[in-house]
Chains A and B, each alone.
Chain A
């Protein structure tokens, strides 16, 4: 069964080719186009499930020992031999399931959302191409093919952000995304070079089995370079700037690419390379720290934004930070778990945003919304469920995954009290800004244009059904990973365990070391039971935090809607800095973009033209002057030549004498 893995990416590729190549010339109708695109994804999802079942039938140890499915040789030069080949193991198949599953529902949703768009065919061919590239990324059996997917999803992201290219903002945002991602890819490339020059191979199996040959400095360098790539693709500090702008694309694209799948590629990459990262404690610390800081930093910007999609974008950056925090402290399966639950609820949140935009003629300013739950109940309820999930309310998927991350940030040997604290505070911020968004959009009184309100309506079933499906997943998706402390079996963790080994989950003793002394004494007194009690205690803490955030949002935006404005006026400077996103875009523009342009102009005008080319022309001019001088001698008069001969003769005579 696992031998059919290559069919998973094949179907979206076919869908892309059919819609992309003949769509324009045959003027295919929308029904046909959408059937091709959606059934390509449906088949791909189906085969992912089949391969998954095939994998489940195997005993856990042999699930990681399946031979790679190699299709053909790709770049072969000297000692370098790379192939187009796919790898099946629990990690890659979880990713394939998430990607094809979520993509399928978002494809269906798009049929409704994009129905009136003239670029319908183009949209679906890009979307299929995206899924094809994403599947290459997650199924690749070597770094280079992963890089193909890596850059390929970047291309699709560029094309889809700039989908409405006739406006300047999307075109700019697309270009920004591509160039910023390329900065990260630069690091990824160098990481691959270093791997190859040390180990002579780029296949995952080859690299990881030989990884022990690497010295600590090299492996740290490799992992940091690869992580540079991840900061670009997964929008972490300092390369996150492209993601908020990426919201210029169609909303299902934001949902699929810029929330559920593509941006998680960095997390997947770190998890895939866990063998290398585990050898490099420094890199792990960097990953965890960058993740934690990004989580908090992005959440702080989300607190005051008023653009529906941008709040979600900052939230995505923040949640990706959580995932990096997880993998950075060695909790790889927790990171992948959160990746999956996040794909459900964040994908859904964006679909909700799309549904609202659909209803309000494209309105995105949440100050002009309110009371929408009356007009669009399905959107409201699904959105609320997703919000509860992301806020970490017990029982919803986000609770389990976020809690596992926080616990690991605290208890794992690579964890630290501060990392936990940042994650903990961010959890409260998350609950606050998400409920702020939810309350402002769906509750209270409507604050926008009456005409718009009049036309506001619930979306058609083709859009609401995928939302309901994702809502169900947002609620129940966490139950595959219920921790042992709550009496669960954590199937998810056990399924991935053969990939990641048994390093995680056993950090209770380390946790005790990290605790403030007074606690530690108390907890240690109770022995092993104490650490379980501790885990429960921390869980309760984070639940309290979540409810505190929710209550604050309720107090500020439902009970006393005048307060936020007063707060903003009370702290004008802090508010302005947050509202203007710390002015980072402006700083980058000045530091990098403008200075490169200035340098380019100087090099061109003042060096290339004024120095290099002028030198060339100067040489030519000198030759011309010299030639002009010599030409005076060539008068064509016999007398002059005779004079020359006589002069010459005289000179020779003088010499001889």
Chain B
């Protein structure tokens, strides 16, 4: 395919926003419309290019596609190694898709420094896409860390009143995890070199690093903490409500929609396949934390008085589902988990967009300040309803496919986890519909809400693609599944195979030890 196109499509998709950002540097500051238009154009073009990735991606091939590999720092074994399988493909599409909507949603919400804002977003896009493509651990780490800076600026400069606190917390918390991961990356690198005499950061080479079980467990823990903070899993979640509340709307959309997925993706691509034995050992730990996240996130979400905080805690709950399914290690669980990543991006992204829209009108996000909006803003109400239903996984919407598969997959590996996780369908309905009722239904009690204008055409344009996605993904999931079927199958076979190998080796060792002990006796 790549040879057919003759261009390194993956790099183009990744770096196009960076080039756009560089060009924007030269734009005259006063021409705000021009800047917005340009940024929108760049993200749109990137989206179209990523569609080309989707179209030319061969779903009959399980391995990495669109691979680009150039040695970078030869003596250390670092290379520019990019490639995608079905899993990363879908996440890239999610990124480019949400970026377009984010830029659209920033049209009137951002009043100062629009140029720097757009530059930050474009840089962020390059970082995010790069993270999903990098197959060299150093390259991955660079992209991973690179996303921190623009996000830090987006929260810290264009955020709400406590933006500096939130931005610093976001940065330092994630950074603390990343540092652990960096140490672990180096450890794997040296272990691999010691065993094979070959220095390389190539992910697939490192997959087969021989190491002691204790080393596996420790290194997995280091990676897991880094990713768990990003996801965020209970109890590492407290940066998320702060960051969301302070971030501008588009920042929240990207934060929830894509940045959190970097954490879950990290588990699938790095933490689990690098250390399959430790990952299997960690199933009870991760599953229990995920379940706590599902129930706890929902209960806390129910009592929030700030809309954004409510959505933020609901994210903790939804991401709990993602982690639960991933650690079920069944096809349905893992596919549901990946699908749920996309769903959460679409639905929660949309929830943030919707909250941003009322915020722009009322400059408050307190639930108590609203009530009866459905009469004043009927079009808004329809969109809000659809998105809320997708978020509580009503059959026919995208959310159902993900949640159903996750719970089904989990049930097959551990019914107790699935039963507890399935209570999430009740909690979700409770907090979402109660919020919806308090905001949208009832009489209009506040005179300020009487004169609110309904959605503008631009806002409708932002939301229509989301509604289309919600139903498309809910009714024709096969369209997306067939791109990742083989990748997931291969991933599971690989991880399980290597886990069983370790187990067999352990058994053999134990057997030898036992028979030796017997002989000595």
Contacts and interface: CB of A to CB of B under 8 A. Distances in A.
B160 interface: no
A554 interface: no
Contacts of A193: 407-408, 411-412, 415, 418, 422
B89 interface: no
B354 interface: no
B408 A80 contact: yes
B375 A78 contact: no
B418 A190 contact: yes
A78 B444 CA distance: 50
Interface in B383-438: 389, 394-396, 401, 404-405, 407-408, 411-412, 415, 418-419, 422-423, 425-426, 429-430, 433-434, 437
B425 A186 contact: yes
A74 B396 contact: no
Q: Which of under 10, 10 to 19, 20 to 34, or 35 or more describes the interface residues of A?
A: 35 or more
A171 interface: yes
A197 interface: yes
A109 to B, nearest CB: 26
A596 B239 CA distance: 25
B442 A616 contact: no
Contacts of B407: 189, 193
Contacts of B296: 603
Interface in A134-168: 144, 147-148, 151-152, 155, 158, 162, 165-168
A251 B425 CA distance: 30
B501 interface: no
A76 interface: yes
A556 to B, nearest CB: 40
Contacts of A73: 478
Given A75-B404, A151-B394, A197-B411, A171 B426 contact: no
Contact of B429 (A76, A168, A171, A178): A178
A546 to B, nearest CB: 41
A608 B442 contact: no
B300 A600 contact: yes
A171 B441 contact: yes
Nearest to A619: B176
Interface in B446-489: 475-478, 481, 485
A152 B474 CA distance: 13
A604 B235 CA distance: 13
Interface in B12-40: none
- The residue among B303, B330, B401, B485 with the most chain A CB atoms within 10 A of its own CB is B303
Given A155-B394, A608-B238, A175 B437 contact: yes
Contact of A600 (B303, B332, B419): B303
B348 to A, nearest CB: 19
A616 B239 CA distance: 9
B378 interface: yes
B294 interface: no
B335 interface: yes
A172 B304 contact: no
A183 interface: yes
Interface string A589-617: 00000001101110110001000110010
Contact of B437 (A75, A148, A152, A172): A172
Interface string A170-213: 01101100110011011001101110110000000000000000
Nearest to B336: A77
B394 A77 contact: no
B335 A601 contact: no
A24 interface: yes
A78 B425 contact: no
A570 interface: no
Contact of A167 (B300, B422, B443, B485): B443
Interface in B100-132: none
Given A75-B401, A172-B437, A186-B422, A179 B430 contact: yes
B342 interface: no
Contacts of A194: 411, 415
A147 B400 CA distance: 11
A567 interface: no
B46 to A, nearest CB: 30
Contact of B332 (A78, A151, A165, A613): A78
B80 interface: no
B423 A186 contact: yes
A351 B442 CA distance: 27
Contact of B389 (A155, A167, A182, A612): A155
Contacts of A167: 442-443
B481 A76 contact: yes
A603 B239 CA distance: 16
Contact of B440 (A144, A165, A197): A165
A608 B238 CA distance: 8
Nearest to B304: A604
Given A148-B395, A190-B419, A616 B173 contact: yes
Contacts of B419: 190
A147 B395 contact: yes
A24 B382 CA distance: 11
Contacts of A516: none
B299 A166 contact: no
Contacts of B299: 596, 599-600, 603-604
Nearest to B444: A166
Interface residues of B, number: 58
B441 A79 contact: no
Contacts of A165: 374-375, 440-442
Given A155-B389, A155-B394, A193-B408, A78 B441 contact: no
A166 B375 contact: yes
A22 interface: no
Contacts of A151: 394-395
Interface in B210-257: 235, 237-239
Contact of B302 (A166, A596, A608): A596
A77 B481 contact: yes
A191 to B, nearest CB: 11
B320 interface: no
B411 A77 contact: no
Contacts of B372: 166
A613 B378 contact: no
A189 B419 CA distance: 9
A279 B172 CA distance: 60
Contacts of A596: 299, 302, 430
Nearest to A172: B437
Given A183-B426, A600-B303, A77 B332 contact: yes
B94 to A, nearest CB: 19
A384 to B, nearest CB: 38
B331 interface: yes
B332 A168 contact: no
A613 B234 CA distance: 11
- The residue among B299, B304, B372, B423 with the most chain A CB atoms within 10 A of its own CB is B299
A540 to B, nearest CB: 48
The 7 closest A-B pairs by CB, nearest first: A78-B331, A171-B441, A193-B411, A600-B303, A613-B238, A148-B395, A165-B441
Given A74-B475, A603-B299, A604-B303, 18 more contacts: A24-B378, A75-B404, A78-B332, A144-B404, A155-B389, A165-B375, A166-B444, A168-B441, A168-B443, A171-B442, A179-B429, A182-B429, A183-B426, A189-B425, A190-B411, A596-B299, A603-B296, A612-B235
27 contacts: A73-B478, A75-B477, A80-B405, A158-B433, A165-B375, A165-B441, A165-B442, A166-B375, A166-B442, A166-B444, A168-B443, A174-B437, A175-B434, A178-B433, A182-B425, A182-B426, A185-B425, A189-B407, A190-B411, A193-B408, A196-B411, A600-B301, A600-B302, A600-B303, A604-B299, A608-B300, A616-B239
Interface of A: 24, 72-80, 144, 147-148, 151-152, 155, 158, 162, 165-168, 171-172, 174-175, 178-179, 182-183, 185-186, 189-190, 192-194, 196-197, 596-597, 599-601, 603-604, 608, 612-613, 616, 620
